[in-house]
Structure 1
């Protein structure tokens, strides 16, 4: 079972809207080596896992796959923030939204000038399950061979390629909103590389001769350096409410990155940051919920949280 904590796994820094950066980030979400791919691939590998004696490997793959769900949420929310850039409708409240705003501005003019027009035509200024060229995400990307060594090798390659692409994304934009998320994902990709590399080492696989972790020198990016200095590349979370994960039996010892750190899988989850819902956009015909419906939503959420606390205890 999976539970959702209504927090983002990492802060998203505020900056100006940037539809072009949003479209580039779609590759990191719905591309062949994006977060949707890693999420589905690792979850299917853990679901299909066989062999009780190898449970620590299943737990490692499952824990990383669970974290990838939060990465999909993070990068998708970042794309939506970057797209939330059509000029605020500046006509009088109650005016028809198909009339121009003050000064003759067209509310969604920005959709015709930059980025992927589908973000506005069909996505309502939000992320889509596509790559940067607009190709739909495909389940054919998923690799699940049933062979543990092959799966781990493929996962290591997937994380390495994903980190390489995110370093390119970082250098494609100076937007602080985009870079705050890209930097976090670069460092967490490295942590996942370390996990899969360590797992291969415990199986006697000399992966370094065939597939070394690429040296991207991403520490020169200031946002990345701050996270590396905190040791985030050497942590792996269990996301396990019942304390039954055995991933720590693998994710331990000296880091395969040879950066002088030790791997640590003792934490259940990061603290997270508040997840704020974006304001309504009248040019997208988004009226939202009325006051009465909001009260019902809040009451239902409070009951769900109370039930989770009663069953599993408060999250650490």
Structure 2
């Protein structure tokens, strides 16, 4: 079973919209070596795992694959924010990102100057499961041989190539929103490289004679260095609510990165960062929920909350449901962005 904590795994720094950066980030989401690939590959390897004696390896794959789900959410949300910059029909002059669509201005004219027009035509200014060239993500990317050593070698290569590509994307843009997410993923890719390298070492495979972790010099990026100084490249989370993960039997000892750090698999999950819902985009004809639909959803939510109260006790006072928040926004009151 999977549980969703309504927080992002890492904070996204606020900056101006940048459709070009969003287009480049699509490679890190839906490309051959992107986050959708790692998520699906590791989860399928974990689901198809055979051999109870190898449970620590299965748990390692499961934990990393689960983290990759949050990476898909993080990079997809980042792409959406980078695209959130075209003017509205009824925009206000004081809006920080929008301009009034007055004097015959075309609200979506920005789409004609971007690399991926599908972000506007079919995605309502949001992320898509495609690469930077607009090619759809393919299930054939997933490698699951059934041979543990082959799978681990392939996973190490996948993380190494993904980190290499993200270093290139970092140097394509100075947008703070893009770089905050890219930097985090660069460091976490290194953590996953360490995990698969350590797993191979435990099986007697001399991986570093044929497949060294690439020297990308990512530590020169200030946002990356800050995370490396926190030791984030040497942590691996279990995402296990029951405490049954045995991944720590593998992810321990000195880091294969030879950076003097010790691997640590003691944490269940990172603290996370606030997750906010973007405002409606009226020029995309996606204005959100009308009052009638909101009322219907609230009635359904009340019934579901009653079942939750009966099973787990009443929800703490002061907690506002997402439907309440959406209703507040629909009435025109200011919501947090």
2:109 maps to 109
Inter-partner Cα distance in structure 1 for 2:185 and 2:304: 29
How many residue pairs get aligned? The number is: 303
2:334 maps to none
1:314 maps to none
Structure 1 segments of 4+ aligned residues over 3 angstroms from their partners: 293-310
Inter-partner Cα distance in structure 2 for 1:307 and 1:249: 40
Alignment root-mean-square deviation, CA: 1.9
1:75-154 maps to which residues of 2 (within 5 A)?
Answer: 75-90=75-90, 101-154=101-154
Deviation at 1:292, TM superposition (A): 2.3
The answer to whether the 8 A contact 1:26-1:132 is kept is yes
| Structure 1 residue 168 corresponds to structure 2 residue 171 | no
Inter-partner Cα distance in structure 2 for 1:90 and 1:40: 42
Inter-partner Cα distance in structure 2 for 1:220 and 1:112: 35
Relative CO higher for 1 or 2, CA cutoff 8 Å, sep ≥ 6? 1
Inter-partner Cα distance in structure 2 for 1:125 and 1:158: 29
Deviation at 1:274, TM superposition (A): 1.3
2:22 maps to 22
What TM-score comes out, normalization by structure 2 length? 0.86
- Once the two structures are superposed, residues 60-119 of structure 1 have per-residue CA deviations (whole angstroms, 9 ceiling, x without a partner) of 011000000000000000000011111133369xxxxxxx92132111010011221000
Comparing 48-57 with 278-287, which one deviates more in the overlay? 278-287
Relative to structure 1, the CA distance from residue 300 to residue 173 in structure 2 (aligned partners, 3 Å threshold; closer, same or farther) is farther
| Structure 1 residue 282 corresponds to structure 2 residue 282 | yes
Inter-partner Cα distance in structure 2 for 1:26 and 1:309: 41
The answer to whether the 8 A contact 1:22-1:115 is kept is no
Inter-partner Cα distance in structure 2 for 1:305 and 1:25: 39
Inter-partner Cα distance in structure 2 for 1:266 and 1:132: 36
| Structure 1 residue 68 corresponds to structure 2 residue 68 | yes
1:222 maps to 222
Relative to structure 1, the CA distance from residue 309 to residue 157 in structure 2 (aligned partners, 3 Å threshold; closer, same or farther) is farther
The answer to whether the 8 A contact 1:21-1:115 is kept is no
What TM-score comes out, normalization by structure 1 length? 0.92
Deviation at 1:304, TM superposition (A): 8.3
Comparing 287-296 with 46-55, which one deviates more in the overlay? 287-296
Deviation at 1:296, TM superposition (A): 4.2
Relative to structure 1, the CA distance from residue 88 to residue 74 in structure 2 (aligned partners, 3 Å threshold; closer, same or farther) is same
Inter-partner Cα distance in structure 1 for 2:310 and 2:150: 41
The answer to whether the 8 A contact 1:240-1:268 is kept is yes
2:249 maps to 249
Deviation at 1:131, TM superposition (A): 0.4
The answer to whether the 8 A contact 1:57-1:250 is kept is yes
Inter-partner Cα distance in structure 1 for 2:300 and 2:225: 40
Other structure's SS at 2:26 match: helix
Which blocks of at least 5 consecutive residues in structure 1 are unaligned? 93-99, 311-316
Other structure's SS at 2:187 match: helix
Inter-partner Cα distance in structure 1 for 2:129 and 2:26: 8
2:295 maps to 292
The answer to whether the 8 A contact 1:111-1:117 is kept is yes
2:36 maps to 36
Relative to structure 1, the CA distance from residue 6 to residue 304 in structure 2 (aligned partners, 3 Å threshold; closer, same or farther) is farther
Other structure's SS at 1:201 match: helix
Other structure's SS at 1:179 match: helix
Relative to structure 1, the CA distance from residue 111 to residue 162 in structure 2 (aligned partners, 3 Å threshold; closer, same or farther) is same
- Once the two structures are superposed, residues 147-181 of structure 1 have per-residue CA deviations (whole angstroms, 9 ceiling, x without a partner) of 00000000000000000000000000011010000
